[in-house]
Amino acid sequence: MYTPPPLIIIFTAVTLFATVRSNPHFLRLPSDDVYLCPDTLTPGSCPVKCFRTAPVCGVNNVTYWCGCAEALCAGTRVAKLGFCNGGSGPVSGQALLLVHILWLILLGFFVLFGLL
């Protein structure tokens, strides 16, 4: 009489009969729902004048250079410590920069090959 090896039985039991309850909050970071700045922070006056930069990124995707006090003066919460991701310039400024880069590349090409 043939008996299947125990490894096949275990594999079948794990893959076919395993049920996992779906929970969207199963994997959470320690910083989720935690305010990154101290609660006792009250700026003396707004706007904040700082001598050392401590940039934080607000939930409105604006970098506040003077840290939590400046974000508190602006009335926003801090999303993360450090700079915000992405460019903070307007789209028109970025497009103008791209035009200048292309113009300089073309100028260099023309000078290099003696077309100008």
Residue that the structure tokens 């035009």 belong to? 99
Mean pLDDT, range 35-48, rounded to an integer:
71
Q: φ, ψ for residue 104 (rounded to 5)?
A: -70, -35
pLDDT in tens, 55-83: 999 988 888 988 888 888 888 888 888 88
Partners of 56 in the beta sheet? 64, 81
| Predicted structure pTM score | 0.46
The mean pLDDT of the chain is 76
Distance CA 67, CA 63 (A): 9
pLDDT of residue 82: 87
